[in-house]
């Protein structure tokens, strides 16, 4: 039976007697197959699974994006029940940010480029809420999707630097048959935008192919991705990146693990995707 809890006190009481280890899947709701895959991995690894549903206002730079973020708790809870989640924590904002809350968890260099540059304050909001969730749930394991590659790197750094005992586990990107990475934001695409959106994946794969054929110039791979994206009139590229897989510094030459990533706007909807290049 899936329990739906609202307060910190209820959550603590429920967690006091559950079998360990606990697997945590933090979400902002509007669950899709990508979330299901995280929950399934958590279910396979742990006798107790906790999913949190909280649209975190502190990680949106524009109030409008926060308001527009899709929500359907009834459906989300049904999905959690279907996947065998033990506890859904779906708190009101003041159970996460208690009255007088005045702390910011701010990760350094790894949080600055890419999404950090495009969305100022975003990773402070993510790191702060995830630190709270790690503290409240005290899970042994927490599961995040590779689609938000930089987010996982930021959370790993935060957990390591603050000596938080929760192990961060990254799960593969789940895609539609045409290659579009699943995202809660896909729902905002018009039919024409949805038809054009697989270009993110196509751009990344074109660069991967060049890399596979021996190309090691960062500029050449960035140009390949940009060319694929600009060929699609509805796609407005925000960034194309070929970055060091550990530091996220832009690379002139690829000599080790690298992260290819793109952010593209389709009208008012912003999509991201990435691919790891590993020897
Ligand atoms: O990836 C998300 O859904 C959110 O950034 C997270 C990790 C749940 C924090 O609000």
Q: Closest residue (by CA) to atom 9 of ligand 1? A: 126
Q: Which stretch of 21-25, 62-66, 226-230 has the lowest confidence by average pLDDT?
A: 62-66
pLDDT, position 12: 98
Q: Which stretch of 62-66, 85-89, 134-138, 145-149 has the lowest confidence by average pLDDT?
A: 62-66
> How many A from CA of 220 to the centre of ligand 1?
33
How far apart (Å, rounded) are the C-alpha atoms in residues 152 and 157? 9
Active site residue 32: no
Note every long-range contact of 1-6, with CB atoms under 8 Å and residues 24 or more positions apart, other chains counting: 2/77, 2/80, 2/81, 2/84, 2/85, 2/86, 2/87, 2/88, 3/86, 3/87, 3/88, 4/77, 4/88, 4/90, 5/87, 5/88, 5/89, 5/90, 5/91, 6/89, 6/90, 6/91, 6/92, 6/95
What are the pLDDT digits (tens) for 226-269? 999 999 999 999 999 999 999 999 999 999 999 999 999 999 99
Of the CATH numbers 1.20.1440.80, 3.40.50.970, 1.10.230.10, 3.40.50.620, which one belongs to the domain with range 3-171?
A: 3.40.50.620
Asked if the model's pLDDT at residue 279 lies above 90, the reply is: no
Q: What is the CA radius of gyration of the chain?
A: 19
**DSSP code of residue 184:** G
Pocket test for ligand 1, best of 24, 25, 28 (most atoms within 8 A of CB): 28
pLDDT, position 61: 87
Q: Where are the domains of the chain?
A: 3-171, 184-274
pLDDT, position 7: 98
Instruction: Given CATH 3.40.50.720, say whether it is the number of domain 184-274.
Output: no
Residue among 32, 35, 122, 141 flagged as catalytic: 35
What are the pLDDT digits (tens) for 32-61? 999 999 999 999 999 999 999 999 999 998
Across the chain, mean pLDDT equals 97
> How many A from CA of 223 to the centre of ligand 1?
31
Sign of CA dihedral 208, 243, 266, 60: positive
Q: Closest residue (by CA) to atom 2 of ligand 1? A: 27
Atom nearest to 28 CA in ligand 1: 3
> How many A from CA of 26 to the centre of ligand 1?
6
How far apart (Å, rounded) are the C-alpha atoms in residues 123 and 40? 26
pLDDT class of 91 with cuts at 50, 70, 90: very high
Asked if the model's pLDDT at residue 64 lies above 90, the reply is: no
What percent of the chain clears pLDDT 90, i.e. is strictly above it? 97
Query: What mean pLDDT comes out for the span 96-114?
Result: 98
Asked if the model's pLDDT at residue 270 lies above 90, the reply is: yes
Query: For ligand 1, is residue 115 a contact (CB within 6 Å)?
Result: no
Residue labelled with tokens 């899970």? 139
pLDDT class of 132 with cuts at 50, 70, 90: very high
Query: For ligand 1, is residue 170 a contact (CB within 6 Å)?
Result: no
Query: For ligand 1, is residue 260 a contact (CB within 6 Å)?
Result: no
Residue 67: helix, strand or coil by DSSP?
A: helix
Number of neighbours of residue 106 by Cβ within 10 angstroms: 13
Asked if the model's pLDDT at residue 212 lies above 90, the reply is: yes
Determine how β-strand 236-244 pairs with β-strand 258-266: antiparallel
Cα–Cα distance list, 72 to 57, 108, 169 (Å): 16, 34, 26
Q: Are 143 and 38 in contact (CB under 8 A)?
A: yes
């Amino acid at each position: 039976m899936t329990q739906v809890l609202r307060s910190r006190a209820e959550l603590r009481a429920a967690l006091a007697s559950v079998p360990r280890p606990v697997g945590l899947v933090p979400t902002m709701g509007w669950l899709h197959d990508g979330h299901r895959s995280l929950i399934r991995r958590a279910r396979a690894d742990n006798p107790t699974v906790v999913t949190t549903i909280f649209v975190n206002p502190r990680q949106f730079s524009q109030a409008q994006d926060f308001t527009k973020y899709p929500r359907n708790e009834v459906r989300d809870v049904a999905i959690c029940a279907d996947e065998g989640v033990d506890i859904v924590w779906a708190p009101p904002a003041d159970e996460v940010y208690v009255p007088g809350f005045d702390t910011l968890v701010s990760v350094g260099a790894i949080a600055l480029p890419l999404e950090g540059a495009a969305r100022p304050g975003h990773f402070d909001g993510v790191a702060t809420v995830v630190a709270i969730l790690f503290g409240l749930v005290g899970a042994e394991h927490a599961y995040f999707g590779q689609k938000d590659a930089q987010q996982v790197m930021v959370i790993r750094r935060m957990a390591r630097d603050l000596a938080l005992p929760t192990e961060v586990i990254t799960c593969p990107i789940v895609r539609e048959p045409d290659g579009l990475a699943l995202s809660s934001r896909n729902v905002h695409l018009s039919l024409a935008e949805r038809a054009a959106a697989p270009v993110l994946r196509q751009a990344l794969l074109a660069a991967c192919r060049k890399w596979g054929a021996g190309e090691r110039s960062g500029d050449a791979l960035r140009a390949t991705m940009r060319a694929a994206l600009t060929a699609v009139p509805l796609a407005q590229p925000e960034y194309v990146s070929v970055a060091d897989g550990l530091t996220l510094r832009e690379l002139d030459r690829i000599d080790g693990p690298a992260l290819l990533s793109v952010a593209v706007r389709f009208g008012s909807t912003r999509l991201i995707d990435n691919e790891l290049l590993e020897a």
